[in-house]
Chain A
């Protein structure tokens, strides 16, 4: 299958610290690709560089064959990439439905003039948006919670709403930044299944950051391992699991446990 996202020698420095060092990544369309690594390895920085929150200091980013580094984040979103955040960043004072509707911003056409005069175009646009928002709400299992202000949702609901909001932008690539953070094993398992469902039913390619290895082994098609900003290994879960460098750098002294 075709390569959807490609980074070539992607580099980001913060002062003297090289957070990401000549990072090459190829994400195949329709796959679930994970980036793992210990805390501070530079995983989130990779996301921020792809999304152009931080302009990279070197290297290139290609999405569906087109170069996207150097544009603003809204253009990256328009190209078809969307993401969630490690610490939940919902629009806290908006209701769940409104959050999703903001996510749909790119695909709505109504203008402020149309809204002021309440034209037919605006009304159909809004009705369509509302119907789709309800569908997405259903998909993430938040039906009935649509009118709750985001900050009053439970932690798990907020996580799912964040994914719903990203999905509303109809991305081709969805980047999830530690979606299982702060969850117990059962919830993690549910989230894993949910991520798989997103890929299968919404036909979205997934790029996933996780820091616990056990979580990603089950769902990833491919895994890249980052340590101190450098890619130290890449391959299928099985390959990565048995990679000597990974075991040393990432798991340290607990190697016996993993080998079992």
Chain B
């Protein structure tokens, strides 16, 4: 399958009058709001406070929706004068809110709960602000109008004002949203305890705290913006060795803080980071196969399963165990078994290409899971009951027995794996992989042995998954076939696409966005696959090269955008002459 992504080249030729655009945007945004309500996102989000007693995530989302209406209309630069733009935002917000108000109106007239479970009285109460229907609906429309106006106003503000405001809002929202994570960290140490008391109560972020965070962030951004040029000039005037030293110093400090963070953050964050780390490891492996060698693989979870099961069989304190090795002995064997599995896996699909390859590998991945589940293999692998009592890794007398310590293990493994992946990508083999990704026949005609190169891609990619599986086994202490569903393969594929195909930092970023965020915010977790879909569609539309693309890819697509702009310019010139 080719993943050449080309930015949309549609040239807008239809003339849309400004007011029609405003009406369209308003209706679309209103429908989006109704959608969020109907699927239950608004109701679910309403249970999480951002500012205690003042604002919930549900209302914030709804407000954001109306704000976006104003921003969309304002950023289109439909009118030259500011009052007209503000009026446009106001109208768009009002239309959006009016369309959205159809939802509570419908709810007050008939019960829709038998069809849409989420449309319950609690949601109705939220949407009408606890008042009777006409009053509540009037309030929604007013809210829409005001927020639409504000959205449009935001686009008209100069950058120097807009940046602190939006930055402050985002910071306050994050502080409220992640209060469950931030509070223990702040409360743990004596130094930060007063800060905790200033910002939070036991229930969450206080209004005072929110205003404080907003103000501090806004001022910080303003100061930074104002003094950045001076700082840069001063920095540039330093002699080059000093500059390098300062840069390395900052980098080292940042890495040091990142390393210390999980220790203070507690077990929950440790667990989230551990999961992110495991998916990063697997993502790097799949990235070799899909991103570099262009071999689409939907059965990747099989290698993860092999790594986990081999580790389990070699370490567990159970009747299925083949040996009682330590983790450090079992892990390399597990990785090796995964490599062998990868090669075996690759042989039947050597001649299969593109979309067919995706289907074939998906089948192979399922076969592995079904075999593990089967009665035939049950005496060996434990069937659906799995393998239990896998001990934790030990270094000397030191037991890696909590998620934070296991996270550090995963971090080390990831760094080693990232180095290996980077070396491979730059090597002769990596070039051969990229060549078969672009044109398999031509690559073969240049003397590349397709069988060898493809099997190496499967085998080496599988090694990363085997390593992840091995850590997974000791993390849970028990493994079941149900941990190795097809959806894991799809998750990994999604995260490398969102992060940027073929890019190593992209894999880590993709794992944080698609795996870490849903784990941290339960509400997002409930709608995980909706957000996956949204994230993928949004990335493909707005940043088709991924969130953190590899360097050469970035250059390509930027150049494409330039040619596109030139073409569009030519097209408009043509349109003018004819």
Contact = CB atoms under 8 A, between A and B. Distances in A.
Contacts of B444: 72-74, 77
A197 B112 CA distance: 80
B446 A93 contact: no
A14 interface: no
Nearest to B294: A93
Contacts of B552: 93, 95, 149
Nearest to A101: B431
Contact of A91 (B427, B442, B460): B442
Interface stretch (B89-97, B139-147, B190-198, B553-561): B553-561
Contacts of B456: 112
5 contacts: A91-B439, A93-B437, A93-B556, A105-B446, A152-B556
Interface string B422-463: 011011111110110111011111111110000010001000
Interface of A: 51, 53, 72-74, 76-78, 82-83, 85, 89-95, 98, 101-103, 105-106, 108, 110-112, 115-116, 118, 122, 125-126, 129, 149, 151-152, 165-166, 169
Contact of A51 (B430, B445, B448, B555): B445
B359 interface: no
B445 A94 contact: no
Contacts of B447: 74, 77-78, 105-106, 169
Interface in B224-276: none
Contacts of A118: 423
Interface string B402-428: 000000000000000000100110111
Given A105-B431, A149-B552, A115 B445 contact: no
Given A108-B428, A152-B556, 14 more contacts: A76-B445, A77-B446, A89-B439, A89-B441, A90-B438, A94-B438, A98-B431, A102-B432, A102-B434, A102-B446, A115-B424, A116-B420, A149-B552, A149-B555
Nearest to A118: B423
Given A73-B445, A103-B446, A93 B439 contact: no
Nearest to B434: A94
Contacts of B435: 91, 94, 102, 105
Given A85-B442, A89-B439, A98 B428 contact: no
B4 interface: yes
Given A102-B431, A112-B429, A92 B446 contact: no
Contacts of A78: 447
B427 A112 contact: yes
Given A91-B434, A91-B435, A110-B428, A53 B445 contact: yes
Interface string B1-29: 00010000000000000000000000000
Contacts of B553: 93
A82 B556 contact: no
B446 A169 contact: yes
A116 B446 contact: no
A105 B556 contact: no
A110 B431 CA distance: 12
Contacts of A91: 434-435, 438-439, 442-443
Interface in B542-556: 552-553, 555-556
Contacts of B431: 94, 98, 101-102, 105
Contact of B426 (A105, A115, A149): A115
A112 B288 CA distance: 13
Contact of B556 (A98, A112, A115, A149): A149
Nearest to A92: B438
Contacts of A76: 445
B443 A102 contact: yes
A95 B429 CA distance: 16
A122 B424 CA distance: 12
A94 B294 CA distance: 13
A102 B444 CA distance: 11
A128 to B, nearest CB: 12
A166 B441 CA distance: 14
B434 A74 contact: no
A116 B421 CA distance: 8
A80 to B, nearest CB: 10
Given A53-B445, A73-B445, A112-B427, A105 B438 contact: no
A89 B439 CA distance: 8
A101 B446 CA distance: 11
A201 B424 CA distance: 35
A76 B445 CA distance: 8
B419 to A, nearest CB: 8
Given A82-B445, A102-B443, A115 B428 contact: yes
B445 A77 contact: yes
Greatest chain B CB density within 10 A among A102, A118, A126 is at A102
A32 to B, nearest CB: 21
B423 A115 contact: yes
A169 B448 CA distance: 11
